[in-house]
Amino acid sequence: MTIISLLLLASLLPHLTFTAHVDVGIVNGKEAKPHSRPYMVSLQINGHHHCCGFLISDEFVMTAAHCQKNQVMTAVVGAHDLKNKNEGSVCIGVKSYHKHPDYSNESNLNDIMLLRLEEKVKLSTNVNLILIKNKEEIKCTVCSVAGWGKRQIKGSANDRLMEANVTIIKNQQCKEKWKGSEKYSLSKMMCAYGHGGSCKGDSGGPLVCGNTAVGVMSFGDRERCNSPEYPNVYTKISAYFPWIRKIIKS
């Protein structure tokens, strides 16, 4: 999720009751059962969690384009507690970064990226893929999000994977809510809201419906995580299939 400026941090101070809940990766979430989401990847810079991603093949991690900085990223697979050195997580280098060619840092459009790993991951109970589908139709509207997103306000980071249930909002309603603010694309975005939801550091993680990843965490309200007025926005994966196929086959 787009980083909040210092100015906006100051504007958060009046919402102290709210910030108390921001203390975990996903706001108002629950700790996930360890390794229950074996597709989750922690993308790290200099050994620190930076963004989330998810395995869509044994060689490719999907994430958000805005996660790319001019710094080398590594992918940690099979993790639950990022501080636990004994849980058998594996750190793999990124061979190539495939940011969507039409993503620009000036807009949130096409906020999707594929990372080719230096070596294929070894699949196991703790490391596995998640399905993505070419179809736009989403049967269930109650879906979930997960991530290691950090605290917004100063304090120690949460190192364990958190999760929350969210409801997909009708797309026209998403556009209405985001009207006048960031550009909302009906064909390339979707939005969701729940008691809990994604926060800073959860970027790039999947919006999961049933057994399928349908969205990539892109952006939300700059002033407050999981805002009902400006529900979190996800890049709609089904809109990018031709591009995904091309990268994976190349």
Ligand X SMILES: *[C@@H]1O[C@H](CO)[C@@H](O)[C@H](O)[C@H]1NC(C)=O
List CB contacts of 92: < 8 A, sequence separation 6 or more: 74, 75, 76, 77, 117, 118, 119, 121
What region, left, alpha or beta, does residue 8 occupy, with left being phi > 0 and alpha being psi -120 to 50 degrees? alpha
List CB contacts of 215: < 8 A, sequence separation 6 or more: 190, 192, 206, 207, 234, 235, 236, 237
The catalytic residue among 198, 203, 218, 238 is 203
Q: How far is the CB of 146 from ligand X (least distance, A)?
A: 9
Residue written as tokens 């196929």?
245
Q: How far is the CB of 71 from ligand X (least distance, A)?
A: 13
**Torsion from C-alpha of 18, 24, 30, 36, nearest 10 degrees:** 150
Q: How far is the CB of 86 from ligand X (least distance, A)?
A: 26
Q: Residue 40, exposed/middle/buried by CB under 10 A (0-12, 13-18, 19+)?
A: buried
**Residue 49 is a catalytic residue:** no
The catalytic residue among 89, 111, 144, 221 is 111
Kindly tell me which of 59 and 97 has the beta carbon lying closer to ligand X.
97
Q: How far is the CB of 23 from ligand X (least distance, A)?
A: 16
The catalytic residue among 35, 49, 50, 66 is 66
Kindly tell me which of 105 and 124 has the beta carbon lying closer to ligand X.
105
**Residue 66 is a catalytic residue:** yes
Q: How far apart are the first and last CA of the chain?
A: 29
**Residue 81 is a catalytic residue:** no
Binding residues for ligand X (CB under 6 A) = 29-30, 105-106, 163-165
Active site residues: 66, 111, 203
